[in-house]
Chains A and B, each alone.
Chain A
């Protein structure tokens, strides 16, 4: 196993666990919402802050899923016009496209950090529970940063392919 393969293997395992954690939190949120519906309809008592918590669960689920999405190249693309390219040319094209993805993600991560710091400085909080907005930004910054690493790994693999070397995964 080469260093690149080992790195990919570890990244894959980490991304799977992170994504699973995000979806598990979403599942937990369904339980909270079910409890809220039940108590509201039977005891006329609503659980406070379900909207705040749902938004947080969705932020965690989405941004924890992004590194896996990029690592597994699960984003929607159209290969109809390029699927007749020779394998090495296709790998080179994939490499360029993935590097552009990384560039966009870097810009998003950087400017999101700026926005998060502004909201932190202003002391912004969620509507009902008063959760600091920084808590909502944190999964986004974390997930986007890991997605950058995922895209760079995929770009490296495609560069190796474009150079003519065999890549077993």
Chain B
């Protein structure tokens, strides 16, 4: 059997095992182990199994991940999400669909202190869903706006996906995080446009609420300045070269813990819950990295990556056609599997291809994360749909029925980033260092 064919069969085996309920990390680890042994002989397998897990945790670049996770969990448990939602709702809650607009706006700001789409959706879902239900919002609009808004957490920095993409492709993590800002803002506006379009077609989806006066608005603003300060410090520090991404993550984690403590909303039991949540999230993400580390040893030796790049080059397609096909492939893959696993499985070969075709690696990172956002809200395996189902208790079908305008908004965003690459590349190009 040829190397590339063995690699392709390895991919198929991983997908099959994942479908059989095997954890993604274990599926990649087992297939990587057996594949490496079969292709390269069993004598060197011990080295791979001994080194890959260590190398998947030890590099200093990876220390950003647990620190950003710590920051996000404490921001969520410290009550920052409720303050944010209250502030944005006070500003625009009186508009038609105003609470759904406020949900998306609050998700965007919360995404600025939390790098995870799941955490953003779960946190904002607990805050926003009951408010929207009380105000008579249709479940389709309320649930879909939280599910979609939550995905902004992986585009607006800090973003776990950008960090891992940067480590895999040896791109500057600081520049990647900066690259997500404008597309994140664009995504927020387009989601708001999707809500506007939905409520214009059917005003009963989101009836307008009472208008808050300026005293109430100023009162709500008092609770959110800390979040803005924290975000400004973390991103500004990296942007102006004051500190490295690891140090920025440490500043963010420290700031989030202090804010949670100073706000007085986190009791003793809450600290234990937050620590437990941080631990299981850290364990889960690094276990996937360990599995992918073993699997990538196998894939590297099969030569699959080079074979795919050569095959696509030989097809002679225009490079934008290749990019279009890649995006379609990622939308389909994203609908079927976890986004982190999708990244770890595919970015190696795809990155070589897009560099060979002359695309900007930072720009492609933004396109990739946008596609991941779509994958998070598309059935059958859109993770945010399940998160909102868990938080709200609504049937999955109800959430899915409301999601279409948001998926269209994401596709429009991808098109705009493709047509105007500066949306992703301008801010990183202005960065110090």
Residues of A bordering B, CB below 8 Å: 16, 19-20, 22-24, 26-27, 29-31, 33-34, 36-37, 41, 51, 54-55, 57-59, 61-66, 68-70, 72, 74-82, 93-94, 97, 100-101, 103-104, 107-108, 110-115, 136-137, 140, 144
Task: Decide: B51 and A115 in contact? CB cutoff 8 A.
Answer: yes
CB distance from A102 to the nearest CB of B (A): 10
**Bound form: Cα–Cα A111–B381 in Å:** 35
Task: Decide: A22 and B57 in contact? CB cutoff 8 A.
Answer: no
Asked if A62 meets B46 with Cβ closer than 8 Å, knowing A33-B246, A76-B340, A100-B30, the reply is: no
CB contacts (< 8 Å) of B76 on chain A: these are none
Which listed residue, A22, A59, A108, touches B58 by the CB 8 Å rule? A59
Task: Decide: B337 and A59 in contact? CB cutoff 8 A.
Answer: no
CB contacts (< 8 Å) of A29 on chain B: these are 250
CB contacts (< 8 Å) of A136 on chain B: these are 54, 58
SS class of chain A's interface: helix, strand, loop or mixed? helix
CB contacts (< 8 Å) of A144 on chain B: these are 53
Residues of B bordering A, CB below 8 Å: 18-26, 29-30, 33, 45-51, 53-54, 57-60, 62-63, 66-67, 70, 242-243, 246-247, 250-251, 253-254, 257, 272, 275-276, 278-284, 286-288, 290, 337-338, 340-341, 380-381
Task: Decide: A55 and B58 in contact? CB cutoff 8 A.
Answer: yes
Task: Decide: A66 and B246 in contact? CB cutoff 8 A.
Answer: no
Closest-by-CB residue of A relative to B18 is: A78
CB contacts (< 8 Å) of B59 on chain A: these are 55
SS class of chain B's interface: helix, strand, loop or mixed? helix
Task: Decide: B280 and A65 in contact? CB cutoff 8 A.
Answer: yes
Asked if A20 meets B66 with Cβ closer than 8 Å, knowing A59-B58, A97-B20, A104-B29, the reply is: no
Asked if A76 meets B21 with Cβ closer than 8 Å, knowing A26-B67, A30-B67, the reply is: no
**Bound form: Cα–Cα A90–B202 in Å:** 43
Task: Decide: B380 and A101 in contact? CB cutoff 8 A.
Answer: no
Task: Decide: A33 and B247 in contact? CB cutoff 8 A.
Answer: yes
Asked if A62 meets B18 with Cβ closer than 8 Å, knowing A19-B276, A115-B50, A115-B51, the reply is: no
Asked if A97 meets B57 with Cβ closer than 8 Å, knowing A20-B279, A76-B340, the reply is: no
A-B contact pairs, 16 of them (CB 8 A): A16-B276, A36-B247, A54-B63, A58-B57, A62-B66, A62-B282, A74-B284, A77-B24, A78-B18, A80-B381, A82-B19, A97-B26, A100-B22, A101-B26, A115-B51, A115-B54
